[in-house]
Structure 1
Amino acid sequence: MTNILIVDDEKEIGTFLSHLFTSKGYRVTVVNSGNNFSAIDFNKQCFHAAMIDLKLPDIDGLSLLKHLKKLQPRCKAIIMTGYSTIKTAVDAIKLGASDYIEKPFDDIDLLEKQVDNLLNSNVTSTQQHIKDLASKVGLIVGQNEKMNQLIQTAYKVAKKNVNVLIEGETGTGKEVLSRFIHQASQRSDESFIGVNCGAISESLLESELFGHEKGAFTGATQPRKGLFEIASKGTLFLDEIAEASHSIQVKLLRVLETREFMRVGSGSILRTDTRLVAATNENLQEAIQQKKFREDLFYRLNVVHLNIPPLRDRKEDIPLLIDYCLRWNPNIDISFSDNAIEVLQNYDWPGNIRELSNFITRIDTLADSNHTVFTADDLPFSDNGVATSVPVKKIKQFNTKNQESQLESYLQKWINEILTAFEQKDEINLEEVLAQVKQLELQVGKAFILETLKDTLGNRKEAAKRLQITMRKLRYLLNEKSFCLEDSGTKSVH
């Protein structure tokens, strides 16, 4: 028979839960305090599930949870909590609780279903489900204990309609984790929409989030729905939330508090049921101290706090991440020896997974087609795992002088042709001359862009920064001017 333990100081709740689950055929034990809990002989009584209230008169529920998991680690636990203590309930999940439920119990059917699902769930099938969802969004579970605990926590809280704040260094995979949360939630069939708060101006971000009415500002020729409206039943991911202006922060706070907002230029109130996941690579606590971020907004966002460890703290997962990059990119046809993998594991990867991915792309881009297996001697790292400027063996080195020579040769040929045309005494086709000038612009621009993309390992954002042009301008030059990047040996990444 299935044994259930109820720990709650409110005797009415204990009696109610006892009747509810006894009628379903379970054997129920009810205790009302920490002292009563300590009196249980856990050597003689084995519990399959426990429902523990977080607040008891003589002890807190987290302490009881720790003690229970130590005595009977296979016992599945549900934490009972009020809304004000949801953050503590999430801490309980990190300590081994399987789930939490809010009091008072407004939906008895949901409560029964939650307990039944918990009792009938299989650890193996749950783990497999997590792996399947992670694989679907490109999240590598790996072997690292912190990362595994993080994913377990994310999976458990995903089904709750609470806001999530993800912190982590640039390149650790915050958006991938947010997609995992969406896929593991009850909203997985609805929209997942992401926006980078630091990449859009304040006025455009306001319109992007809340929408606008026709004529609200110059260029607003048609009414437009905002992301809070479009993703009303789904998940809205706000990346780099620390970059949002104070004005936007105030408006976000109102949406989170009331679930209400107005389009730009409208007086009508709209409602949203969006589940918000925010991410930042900054320390928001420090941003609050520096008056850059609103403290009240922080607490609204920080209902569930997830911190992704940097790659240097999960080096045991580097072989899996490399294997993922090699398997899922059909254009990459290289491999690494065991000693090369060891060297890559010793490097700190300050750019995290994004840097690792770009590194592999670069190695593949520059690799000699006759050598596709890289050893430790072929990698640009010293013995202590520090990146060096030493040329990599088995990699085509782009000769800068040769590139300059090619550009110089082209310019000299162009000048000679133009001067020859200028010295002609007969009729001159000016349209043809002007076309040659445009061709010069194209070739010179191409040379500068390709050289910069090579220096930045194909990173368009960094290339645009170095060229002192906008990403929009770079995209125009790459797309409209039809630069043949592949022919020049450079693969660009966004």
Structure 2
Amino acid sequence: MNLLIVDDEKEIGTFLSHLFSLKGFTVHKAVSANEFYQIDFTSHIFHAAMIDIKLPDGSGLALLKHLKKQQLRCQVLIMTGYSTIKTAVEAMKLGASDYIEKPFDDIEVLEKQVETLLKRTQSANPPYIHKLAKEAGMLIGKSPAMNQLVETTWKVAQKSVNVLIEGETGTGKEVLSRFIHLASPRRDDPFIGINCGAISESLLESELFGHERGAFTGATQQRKGFFEIAGSGTLFLDEIAEASSSIQVKLLRVLETREFMRVGSSQTLQTNARLVAATNDNLQQAVDNRTFREDLFYRLNVVTLELPALRERKEDIPLLIHHFIERNGQQSITFSPAALDKLLSYDWPGNIRELSNVVTRTLTFADQDSDISADDIVLSSCSPALISKAEKPSLNTTNHLKQWRNEKLADFNASNKINLENVLTEIKQLETDIGKEMVQQALQNTFGNRNEAAKRLHISMRKLRYLLNEKNKTDVKKS
């Protein structure tokens, strides 16, 4: 096995060369970027490389990119003594297989990392990754962007760092978080997900941290929170941007100290859970707008993974359709070329969730052994212009309101008296009915995503639930 070591500290290079030579490696050393670039990579084939991230005459990231272009299958371990974890993660995005922090406190750990790298090959990794993806409910497809994301995610999953997942509604943020959990050493521990935007502040605090008996009205017994239940597993917080300022403060404390207290208790508890957060908002913009804490943002933003929109990976649509057909157990049904063209030409504002709904709806009304035509497919009209129109009272509704008002005024003018309380009650009922219709229309346009519907209507989740007559209900919706 051939090993390349690039480090400007000669003592470290000599030590590593001696260590791995005794283990049977053929070691080649370089003490600078200039010396690295003089290597003839056509005649020297390396199975693994250890590259220092900071060299006096160059960047370890640049060396990594050059090496991966020359020898794609070479497994690279980045050595970092100066960089932050974010720099090491950037190296992994560029093709590094792992990183280790200097100085090396445990030589056995270093040896194990190098041996693990050599067990990996480009031909062996994909099947394993695809198996994990399938277990998580994710189809990777052919898209280069998606394949690169999954490979990076798999590497990041091995490390106990917080992860922030960004992506539009319906791109599969919770599915990716499950993949992180399954690909990590925590896979045998619990995975728990909660939507921060679909639950009230007081209840969210209790759900996350638990409560003691008598802590508030209705707390008839002690209850463990998700941080406690997750143990050493993974806690997924969806729509993290919707968390209140109070909840943000408490989350910051947990991330900084790994400690929390149940509601109504003074006892400090410990958590070892890994936090994965997700949002379809721009958190940096939320920080700039002072709606999200900057310190919490940086605690969450150790590693950011961005899911591509479906319109950016349309080559995967046929594979996704086949996946949904198999999932529904209707393999005898096929989609005609015209039907596929119709689906490929659509922009999919609701992303994979919308595609799943469209395919499922189409299959529901299809006969067995049928060939789906373009006319059989009904797509939702979700362009911004149409949504804006749908979420405003129609001209017909406005005319009805004017007619109702004119009739009431005419009645009052004719008799010079009217029961104003009854009129105000009717107005209140009309307000409720129209509000509920607008909410239902918004929910239809957002494929049932209540958080997104509330944003489009410029109302809170609490107001949305109230308009749906659910003020006494709690809805923890997954996105």
Map of 1:400 onto structure 2: none
Map of 2:118 onto structure 1: 119
Q: CA deviation at 1:371?
A: 8.1
TM-score normalised by structure 1 residue count: 0.77
Asked if the contact 1:332/1:361 (under 8 Å) is kept, the reply is no
Map of 2:400 onto structure 1: none
Asked if the contact 1:362/1:457 (under 8 Å) is kept, the reply is no
Map of 1:12 onto structure 2: 11
Alpha-carbon distance between aligned partners in 1 of 2:445 and 2:103, rounded to the nearest angstrom:
56
Alpha-carbon distance between aligned partners in 1 of 2:379 and 2:177, rounded to the nearest angstrom:
33
Q: CA deviation at 1:343?
A: 1.3
Structure 1 residues 67 and 458: CA distance shift in structure 2, 3 A: closer
Map of 2:410 onto structure 1: none
Q: CA deviation at 1:194?
A: 0.4
Alpha-carbon distance between aligned partners in 1 of 2:449 and 2:7, rounded to the nearest angstrom:
56
Map of 1:154 onto structure 2: 153
Alpha-carbon distance between aligned partners in 1 of 2:22 and 2:70, rounded to the nearest angstrom:
28
Map of 2:58 onto structure 1: 59
Asked if the contact 1:343/1:381 (under 8 Å) is kept, the reply is no
Map of 2:88 onto structure 1: 89
Map of 1:21 onto structure 2: 20
Map of 2:202 onto structure 1: 203
Mapping 1:229-308, distance limit 5 Å: 229-308=228-307
Alpha-carbon distance between aligned partners in 1 of 2:127 and 2:149, rounded to the nearest angstrom:
16
Asked if the contact 2:366/2:372 (under 8 Å) is kept, the reply is no
Map of 1:316 onto structure 2: 315
Q: Between 191-200 and 50-59, report the one with greater CA deviation.
A: 50-59
**SS in structure 1 of the partner of residue 237 of structure 2:** strand
Asked if the contact 1:460/1:471 (under 8 Å) is kept, the reply is no
Q: CA deviation at 1:35?
A: 2.1
**SS in structure 1 of the partner of residue 151 of structure 2:** helix
Q: CA deviation at 1:19?
A: 2.0
Q: CA deviation at 1:216?
A: 1.7
Map of 2:339 onto structure 1: 340
Structure 1 residues 311 and 459: CA distance shift in structure 2, 3 A: closer
**SS in structure 2 of the partner of residue 189 of structure 1:** coil
Map of 1:328 onto structure 2: 327
Map of 1:379 onto structure 2: 377
Asked if the contact 1:347/1:386 (under 8 Å) is kept, the reply is no
Structure 1 residues 199 and 380: CA distance shift in structure 2, 3 A: closer
**SS in structure 2 of the partner of residue 193 of structure 1:** strand
Map of 1:218 onto structure 2: 217
TM-score normalised by structure 2 residue count: 0.79
Q: CA deviation at 1:457?
A: 9.5
Alpha-carbon distance between aligned partners in 1 of 2:466 and 2:242, rounded to the nearest angstrom:
24
Asked if the contact 2:199/2:474 (under 8 Å) is kept, the reply is no
Alpha-carbon distance between aligned partners in 1 of 2:23 and 2:49, rounded to the nearest angstrom:
16
Map of 1:164 onto structure 2: 163
Alpha-carbon distance between aligned partners in 2 of 1:470 and 1:25, rounded to the nearest angstrom:
72
Q: Between 153-162 and 119-128, report the one with greater CA deviation.
A: 119-128
Structure 1 residues 156 and 222: CA distance shift in structure 2, 3 A: same
Q: Between 8-17 and 164-173, report the one with greater CA deviation.
A: 8-17
Sequence identity percentage: 62
Alpha-carbon distance between aligned partners in 2 of 1:18 and 1:357, rounded to the nearest angstrom:
54
- Give unmatched runs, 5+ long, in structure 1: 390-447, 477-492
Mapping 1:71-86, distance limit 5 Å: 71-82=70-81, 85-86=84-85
Alpha-carbon distance between aligned partners in 2 of 1:38 and 1:109, rounded to the nearest angstrom:
30
* Paired residue type of 2:70: L
Alpha-carbon distance between aligned partners in 2 of 1:151 and 1:247, rounded to the nearest angstrom:
34
Map of 1:358 onto structure 2: 357
Structure 1 residues 475 and 293: CA distance shift in structure 2, 3 A: closer
Structure 1 residues 3 and 95: CA distance shift in structure 2, 3 A: same
Q: CA deviation at 1:237?
A: 0.4
Alpha-carbon distance between aligned partners in 2 of 1:130 and 1:250, rounded to the nearest angstrom:
36
- How many equivalent pairs are there? 414
Q: CA deviation at 1:182?
A: 0.6
Q: Which has the higher contact order (CA 8 A, sep 6+)?
A: 2
The Cα offsets for residues 63-121 of structure 1, whole Å up to 9 and x where unpaired, read as 11111122222221111124852111111111111222222323322221111111122
**SS in structure 2 of the partner of residue 178 of structure 1:** helix
Q: CA deviation at 1:43?
A: 3.4
Q: CA deviation at 1:270?
A: 1.3
Structure 1 residues 266 and 381: CA distance shift in structure 2, 3 A: closer
* Paired residue type of 1:255: V
Greater Cα radius of gyration, structure 1 or 2? 1
Alpha-carbon distance between aligned partners in 1 of 2:368 and 2:268, rounded to the nearest angstrom:
65
Structure 1 residues 332 and 242: CA distance shift in structure 2, 3 A: farther
* Paired residue type of 1:275: R
Mapping 1:409-420, distance limit 5 Å: none
* Paired residue type of 2:94: L
**SS in structure 1 of the partner of residue 28 of structure 2:** strand
* Paired residue type of 1:135: K
Alpha-carbon distance between aligned partners in 1 of 2:466 and 2:217, rounded to the nearest angstrom:
30
The Cα offsets for residues 312-337 of structure 1, whole Å up to 9 and x where unpaired, read as 00001011111111111237974311
- Give unmatched runs, 5+ long, in structure 2: 387-435, 454-462
